[in-house]
Structures are given as structure tokens and as C-alpha cells.
Amino acid sequence: MLGELVDDVEPGGGEVVRGGVDAITDGLGAVGVCAEVLQTSEDRGRTSVAIHRFESLTLLHISWGCGAHVRTNFGADCVAVSAATALPQLSGRRTVWTGTRVTPGHIGAVPAGHDSESLTPQGAQAIVALVDWSAVTETADALGRQAQPLAAAGPLPPSLGLFDAVVALTRAGRTEDARHAGFARRAMDRLLEGLVTGARPSTADRPRAGYRLAASARIVSVALELAEADGGLAPSMRRMCAATGMSERRVRDAFVDTKGMPPQTYFKVRSLNLAREQLRARSPKESTVTDIAGSLGIWHLGRFAARYRSLFGETPQQTLMGSR
């Protein structure tokens, strides 16, 4: 069943933005989403964003032509529901979204006003539904429930059937045939009802949730100051806990709240980005990959090279040789 769903959701119909990695920022920007590409591999294919507009939501079908690390904010008035429809089956390449490893069929949500970060390999495809919060509250009223904001970004229970609903909407969006109007309406209702009845509600009021985010930002700021003081080296969990006065779980949650991923993943990506900056800036006549990696506290060169190639699409040596 999942294989059939995945095979039949190629971009088509509606407005389509194509190009390099800039298609991500242009496509999301066209629907009012703020996206920042933090790092990308060398472009090896065309990236596309197909846009389908419905009554109370906008659907984006994203096809990644290159690997990328992207931060997004979907705005204060909508909930973003993301479904992974295709992921490349390549060794060492994986998709990480809001700190969770993603597999085909994954469905997750980002609360209104929250940032999210994703690490996506070349060849991945995803559908993102931007659902108006007003539509969620109207559906809640119709069901005799109270719409509550999601507690945090993260995966949703597969039992809700939201993946099927999102894919069904994509299919409906590929045609303007009036016969599909009822089909799209039913899929949209299913998505809205799933968000109301099955998504994890916040147990805190909005001011308390805002306080938690502010506290998380302060925790992460202290951790980053430790890293800067050590020349960019990732601080140990024990050291971050000692400096912040927080437990391991709270430090981890703080990174997920603000960076979309746990500290271990964040600092790995950060070290790869720092390594790339230095490899591009140095001359191969004066520096080696081993020297640069060692200066960043990277000693497992084989593992470093594999992760570097997975994220950027080339080896560290190729980056260094191309710097001059």
C-alpha cells in the first residue's frame, strides 16, 4: 500500500517552481513561508516545489535535487503537516527532521509560529500541508471539542491516517476536474479531524509555552558559548549540564525546541559546516584534510569523510583541492 502511495505522488499541476536549491526558498516564499538554507551539497539535479491551493490549506510537494540543511518558519497562523513520500536508499544518507530520523510514510507536525530544521538528502520527496489554524478551530467546534495548540514539533501517530489524507490531497490537486472536488473535501476533512482528535495537545497555556521556548533558547546559548570558547569544539553533555544547571533531558529538549534536533546531531552538522568553511578557505599546498579535521576535534577521519560526502555531495579532499 505504501509503495503505491509513494509511486503516485510526483509533482504535477498547480504552480511549480523549479531550479537549484533556490527553488526551496522561492517556492516556500511564494506561500509566505520563511526558509533559510543553512548548507547544501553541490547541485546534481533540479529541485522543484509544486504548489496546490485548497480552501483552507496550501499543499507543497517538494522534490530535492541536492542534499540540504534547511531552517523554516511556517508562520503564526498555520500548522505545518509534513509527510515523507520518498527517501533515497543510499548508505550513510538519511533524513532528520526536528530531531527525528525519518522513514518513508513518516508524518509529523510543526506548531504555529515554531521553527523547524531538516537534514534532507538528494532525491528525497516530501509533501507539506500548511493548514490554517482557523480551519482547525472550526473543525474542533463542529466536533464539540476545544482546539489546543500542539505541544512541540514532532511525529504524529500513524493510526490517524494523516499520511493517506495528505497524499490523497496531492492527487486531487493535480487536476481541476470537478469530480475530484468531493474527494479533496473528504481528504481535507480527514486531515483536519486528525489534527483535532489525535495530535498531542499542549498541556500548558500559551504564555507558559512561550516561557519554555525562551528558557530553551538561553540553555542553547550557554552551550554555544562553551563551543566558541573551545574553538568550535562540541562541549560534552556533562559540561553543558554543569554550565546550565539542567539535566541531560532538559538540555536535549532545549536543542530540539530551538534547533529542531538533539545536541549531538546539531554539533555534528555544525562541525561539518565549520570544516567545509576551512577547507574552502585553505590552500592544499599548506593544509591537509587531517590537519583541518584535527583542529576541529575530528579524529575519526573515515566517519567524518562519509558524513561530509553524504551532506555536501563531495569528499573533503575534493573541497580542499577546489579551493584554489
Which of helix, strand or coil describes residue 30? coil
Q: Is residue 91 part of a domain?
A: yes
Higher pLDDT, 133 or 158: 133
Residues 211 and 192 occupy one common structural domain: no
92 and 239, same structural domain? no
Provide φ and ψ at 288, rounded to 5°.
Answer: -120, 165
Q: Verify that 21 and 161 share a domain, yes or no.
A: yes
Residues 33-43: what's their mean pLDDT? 74
29 and 169 inside one domain = yes
Classify residue 176 by burial, with Cβ atoms within 10 Å: 0-12, 13-18, 19+: exposed
Q: What is the pLDDT of residue 182?
A: 63
Instruction: Please give the mean pLDDT across all residues of the chain.
Output: 76
Does residue 239 sit in the same domain as residue 183?
A: no
65 lies in the same domain as 193: yes
Q: Which domain holds residue 289?
A: 275-321
CA angle 27, 32, 38 (to 5 degrees): 60
Please indicate, yes or no, whether residues 226 and 248 belong to a single structural domain of this protein. yes
Mean per-residue pLDDT for 13-36? 81
Q: Read off the pLDDT of residues 225-250 as tens digits, 9 standing for 90 and up.
A: 998 888 778 899 999 999 988 899 99
At 206-216, the pLDDT tens digits run 444 556 777 88
Query: Angle at Cα 138 formed by Cα 137 and Cα 144, nearest 5°?
Result: 85
Run of H or E residues at 59: strand 57-63
Give residue 193's Cα distance to chain centre. Answer: 24
What pTM was estimated for this model as a whole?
A: 0.59
Residue percentage of the chain with pLDDT more than 90: 4
Number of domains in the chain: 3
